[in-house]
Chain A
Amino acid sequence: MDCMVTGGNVKVLAKAIHSLSRIGEELYLEPQEDGLALRTVNSSRSAYACFLFAPLFFQKYASGRNPTFRCKMAVKCVQAVFRSLSSLEKTVERCHIELNVEKSRLTFTLHCKHGLLKTHNLSFQDSESLQAVFDKDSCPNILQAQPRLLVDTVLHFPPSLEEVSVSVSGERVWFRNHVEEEAERSRAMLTELCISAEEFEQFAVSAPTRITFCLKEMRGLLMFAESSGLPVSLYFDEPGRPVVLSLTDSVLEVNFVLATLSEESHPQNHDNTNTDRRAQPPPPPDDFMNDDMDFLIAMETTELAAGGSGCSPPQAQDAGMSQLRTRAASEGEEEEEDGEEEAEDTGRPPNKKFRSLFFGSVLPTSSQATNQTLRSQDVLASDSEDEDPESS
C-alpha cells in the first residue's frame, strides 16, 4: 500500500484517527480497491466505527499488490504521529503512508515546513477483517441534521453521562439522559430536550420508537463531524437493533454502529421491573466453540449474496442483539474479560448491556464458501495469537 495525503486532508485523516481512538484501542487498517478503511471496535464489541477514504481523498493511492492485506495496531501509536492537531494544518504539507511488508512496518512520513521530515515506522499485526454487518437502507427511521444541532444538543448532558435515549414521534425528537433504575430517585437528574422535525434536514420516522445507546461513542463521531461540517445521519430501527450514525461526502464515508439497549432490558419510565438484564450472566465461553454459525448478524450488507440470510440462525435474531458472541470472547481476550469483570464489580456496566452485537464476518457467497474454512467465517478481528494461518 502506498498513498499520499495532502493539504487540509491531513488534518481530516488525523481527526479521523482521534475520533477512532474514542471508540476502541486498536486501529484496523485495510487498503481496499475502493479506498482505505480505518476501523475500530470497542472492547465489548458494542460499538464499531469505520472511516472509508476513497482513492480521490488522496493525491495518490495504491492499495497494493496484495488485495487481502489487513493489519491492526494500537490506535495510540498512530495518534502519536498526528499529535498536535492545531499545528498540523500549519506545519504539515503532506503525509505519505507506505507499507513495508518485508519489515512489517507501516511508515508515516510527514513532510513539514522548513524542510523538516518526520518519519514514523510503526509495527503492526496481521489481522482479520473487521466488519460490522449492517444495512442502513433497511432502517425505517432516518434523521439527518447539521452536526451543529447535535453538538449543541449533547452539550446539555454532562460529560460523564454514559447513555442517552432518543425517542421519536412523527414530528419530534426527544433526547434524554438514560438513568439506571438503581439510581436513587432523589439524586437522579433528568435532562430532556425536544427538537422539532423542522430542525432536521431529513426526518423519516416509521413509528414512534425509543432507543438508548452510548453517548460517549456518539461524541466521538460528533467531534469529527463538527470539524468536517458534513450532515450527520442517524439510522435506526427498534430497540435492540444497532443505530448507525453516518457521514458521507464524495471522498469519505464514516459509519459508527452502536448497539442499543434491547426491549426486554429497556426499562420503561417508572417501571421497576428489572427483569433479565442483570440476571443474564454472560454466556459461558464454551458455548461459543460449538456455535460457529451463531453470530449476531444485524442485517445483511449489500455485499452479501442473498444466501447470507439463510445462515443466521433464528436463535441469534431472537436474542435481539443483546448477547455477546464472538470467538474473540471465547478465546478470552484479556482486556475484554477484564473489562467485564471490572464492570460487574462496579455494578454499573454500561457496555455489558450492549453486548456485542452485530458482529460477524461478511458471510461468503455460496461460490466463495468452498474456498474458505468454516473457521475463517468467525470473524471479527481475531487476535494475532491465532495459530490458524488465515487467508491474510
Chain B
Amino acid sequence: MPLSTQSEAGDDQYVLVASLDNAKNLSNILKAITFKDHALFNATANGLKVTVEDSKCLQANAFIQAEIFQEFTIQEDSVSFQVNLTVLLDCLTIFGGSTVPGVTTALRMCYKGYGFPLTLFLEEGGVVTVCKINTQEPEDPIDFEFCSTNVTNKVILQSDSLREAFSELDMTSEILQITMSPSQPYFRLSTFGNAGNAHYDYPKDSDMMELFQCTKTQTNRYKMSLLKPSTKALALSCKVSVRTDSRGFLSLQYLVRNDDGQICFVEYYCCPDEEVEEE
C-alpha cells in the first residue's frame, strides 16, 4: 500500500490510524446518516462508531468494525471527536465518482488526539490529497436507554419491500404511525395526509418477513420529518429490524453490505411523538 510507507516513523504520534483500500466502504455508510452537519466519532478497539443526532429525538449510528479496515490502530481505550460530516464526506469523495472499474480511492485516516485536526490521506491513481479537518469538542451522545430486555415487539424485514412502502409514503402526513401486533394487522405503517389516510400492511407470514416476534399490540407515532432520513439507510441495506420497547421508542437496525461484501450496521433510534394506547 503506497500510503503505509508514508510517515511510518511518525505513526506513534497518532492515537488513531485507520486505513481502507476503498474509501467508499466508509463514505457510503456515512451517507446513510448525513442528515445533520455534525457527527460524533468514537473509536474503540472494536471499530468506529459515528453518531448523528437531531433535536434530541432522533439518533443515528453507523458502525464500521475494525475488521473492515485494512489497518486499524488505536493507542487509547476510546478516542472521540466531533467533526463536520459534510466536509468529511466531501473529502472522502474528493476524487469524484470513479467510473473505471477496479480503481478505488485509498484512505488513511489519522488523528493525533484532542485539539488536533483529523488528517485524511487520500490516493487514487497515484495522486495523493491530504485533508485536515478541524475537530470539535465531543459531546456525549444521548442514551436512549433502549435495551433488548425491554423490547416488546420485533420484526425483521427484507429491505426491498420496506423501501417500496417508504418511497410511497404520503409526505403531507406529519407523522408516521407504526402498529405492531401479534394479531391483524401484524405490522402496519400508516400516514394521515391531506388526501386521507393510507396503510401499508405486512402480514406475519409474508416471505419478506424474516422474523416476527410481537408480544403486545402497540401503536406509536413518530414525526415523519425525523424518520425521513432513515430512507437513505434503507436504500443501502438488505435487511432491517424494527423494534419497539415498552415506552414506544423505535429502533431501526439496518444491515448494510459494503462493496466488498462485508457487513456494517446502521441504526436509528427515535422517540415517539405521542403514545397511543390501543386495545
A residues near B (Cβ < 8 Å) are 73-74, 76-77, 80, 83-84, 87, 91, 105, 114-123
Contact = CB atoms under 8 A, between A and B. Distances in A.
B198 interface: yes
Interface residues on B, range: 20 to 34
B196 interface: yes
Contacts of B207: 114-115
Given A84-B168, A115-B203, A119-B201, A77 B161 contact: no
Contact of B194 (A77, A118, A119): A77
A115 B164 contact: no
B195 A116 contact: no
B216 interface: no
B197 interface: yes
Contacts of A118: 165, 168, 198-201
A83 B168 contact: yes
Given A80-B170, A114-B208, A115-B206, A120 B201 contact: no
Contact of B202 (A76, A87, A115, A119): A115
Nearest to A105: B196
B205 interface: yes
A120 B196 contact: yes
Interface of B: 161, 164-165, 167-168, 170, 185, 194-203, 205-208
Closest 7 CB pairs of A and B: A77-B195, A115-B206, A117-B201, A122-B196, A115-B203, A119-B199, A114-B208
A74 B194 CA distance: 10
Contacts of A83: 167-168
Contacts of B201: 116-119
Given A115-B205, A116-B206, A116-B208, A121 B161 contact: no
B198 A116 contact: no
B164 A120 contact: no
Given A80-B170, A115-B205, A87 B198 contact: no
Contacts of A105: 196
Nearest to A108: B198
6 contacts: A77-B195, A80-B168, A83-B168, A114-B207, A116-B200, A119-B200
B186 to A, nearest CB: 10
